[in-house]
Amino acid sequence: MRQILHVDMDAFFVSVEEVLDPSLKGKPVIVGGDPDGRGVVAAASYAVRRYGVHSAMPITKAKRLCPHAIFLRGSHRRYSEYSAKVFEILRHYSPLVEPMSLDEAFVDLTGCERLHGPVLKAAEKIRNEIREVLGLNASIGIASNKLLAKIASAYCKPNGMLWIASGMEQRFLAPLPIRRVPGIGPKGEAALQCMGVKSVGDLARLSLEQLEEAYGKWGTSLYRKARGISDSPVISETDDPRSISRETTLEVDSTDSVFLESTLSYLTEKVAGQLREKKLFAGTVALKLRYSDFQTVTRSKTLDMPAAEDHILFKTGVGLFRKLFTRGAKVRLIGITFTSLTTHPHRQEELFDSKGGQSWDGLYQGIDHIRHKYGFKSLLRANSRGGNRK
């Protein structure tokens, strides 16, 4: 029987800010930017959640709900530093730690009893060490698979710990509302409620045939999730991030494709620089657009070979943009993400180029050196000059 933990930090960005400034504790704090500007809530303290504020909410709406809240822009660098410290603690307990984001990870403790004792005791050690060393609270779900562990950690927030013992899975799941199941959002919930499904127990009473007929492959997934079935392994990623991304919310919604491409060029240069700094190459490029009505669309493309050069990555990104962008539609946010990261580019020399990629490598080494010395904006692509400089 596997012993899987889902460790989820409580209001992580806010909690880090509270460690750095203890006067914030217990106060309504929102991390996410200027309350008079644009953007969305990145994190909300539990004190401000009483007013209906939650993450991903437009910052202007959060201000209306709680005008006396303390608004902080936040620091991704600081949050990344604390995240690395959390993962360092987790890796003391198991080599199998799978980060899912800056503030959550799966930990496989199967076979670690001799080192750390029973799983419940080991989980308590982890939670206590995170609190004592970093001053942060974590909620931990414990179960025989990743799906159940994740549901358990969400159930026991904040600062809780819940173990779903073997044989108790159905008893735990049955009374839960279907929104507790990962992957069921507002639209999925509404569709299922039309079928009379309100709880996980209701969902478990539907046959595989019924669900597949109604929802196809998603129906198969629902059938398994309602029964707490998951075979997904915990995959260790010790050094390299799962992805590198950057996005910006525009000061004013834009329909100008030239301006949007310019902004995309700037963002691509920023992220490509991060890739080269970490000596990584991206295998897949993903574009994200959010329109003024908050509809969000994404598209991705796998490269012929992994790359870290601005011109290659931007060519792919702008190609995705031109396919995805709806003429005349107002864009609120634009972002670029690089995934399938590798330390090996598997580059082949061009047939008639005796220098292969060396000339490009030298160029970007020079660009990175100048930026390091004089600042990133000291040297930009021509089509980045008009981009959003956030």
**Segments making up each domain of the chain, as ranges:** 1-166, 170-226, 244-384
1-166 and 244-384 agree in CATH topology: no
Q: Give the pLDDT confidence score for residue 347 in this predicted structure.
A: 46
* Helix (H), strand (E) at residue 309: none
The two tokens of residue 93 are 């307990």
Q: Give the pLDDT confidence score for residue 323 in this predicted structure.
A: 92
Q: Which fold has domain 1-166?
A: Alpha-Beta Plaits (3.30.70)
Q: 59 pLDDT exceeds 70?
A: yes
Q: Which residue has the tokens 């493309």?
A: 301
How far is it, in rounded angstroms, from Cα 42 to Cα 359?
41
Q: Which residues are catalytic?
A: 104
* Helix (H), strand (E) at residue 157: none
Q: 357 pLDDT exceeds 80?
A: no
Q: 133 pLDDT exceeds 60?
A: yes
367 or 243, greater pLDDT:
243
Most confident option among 30-44, 320-334, 340-354: 320-334
* Helix (H), strand (E) at residue 84: helix 76-91
Contact 260, 334 (CB under 8 A): yes
% residues pLDDT > 70 (the chain): 86
SS3 content of the chain, % helix, strand, coil (to 5): 45, 20, 35
Contact 285, 245 (CB under 8 A): no
**10-14, 62-66, 160-164, 306-310: segment of lowest average pLDDT:** 306-310
Q: Give the pLDDT confidence score for residue 196 in this predicted structure.
A: 92
Supply the mean pLDDT for the chain: 85
% residues pLDDT > 90 (the chain): 54
Q: Give the pLDDT confidence score for residue 348 in this predicted structure.
A: 42
The two tokens of residue 133 are 């060393």
Q: Give the pLDDT confidence score for residue 362 in this predicted structure.
A: 54
112 or 345, greater pLDDT:
112
Query: Which CATH superfamily is 170-226 part of?
Result: 5' to 3' exonuclease, C-terminal subdomain (1.10.150.20)
Q: 177 pLDDT exceeds 90?
A: yes
116 or 35, greater pLDDT:
116
Residue range 265-269: average pLDDT?
Answer: 90
Contact 49, 158 (CB under 8 A): no
Number of residues in the chain = 390
Q: 312 pLDDT exceeds 50?
A: yes
Local confidence band at 255 (pLDDT 50, 70, 90 cut-offs)? very high
Q: 367 pLDDT exceeds 60?
A: no
Q: 248 pLDDT exceeds 90?
A: no
Q: Give the pLDDT confidence score for residue 365 in this predicted structure.
A: 61
Q: 21 pLDDT exceeds 80?
A: yes
Q: What are the helix (H) ranges across 294-334? A: 310-324
Q: 352 pLDDT exceeds 50?
A: no
Contact 210, 301 (CB under 8 A): no
CA dist 38 → 63, 84, 230 (Å)? 11, 29, 39
Q: Give the pLDDT confidence score for residue 147 in this predicted structure.
A: 95
Q: Give the pLDDT confidence score for residue 378 in this predicted structure.
A: 44
Candidates 2.40.50.100, 3.30.1490.100, 1.10.10.10, 3.40.50.360; CATH matching 244-384: 3.30.1490.100
Q: Can you give the three-state secondary structure of 192-227, one letter per residue?
A: HHHCCCCEHHHHHCCCHHHHHHHHCHHHHHHHHHHC
Q: What is the pTM of this model?
A: 0.66
Q: 386 pLDDT exceeds 60?
A: no
Q: 168 pLDDT exceeds 50?
A: yes
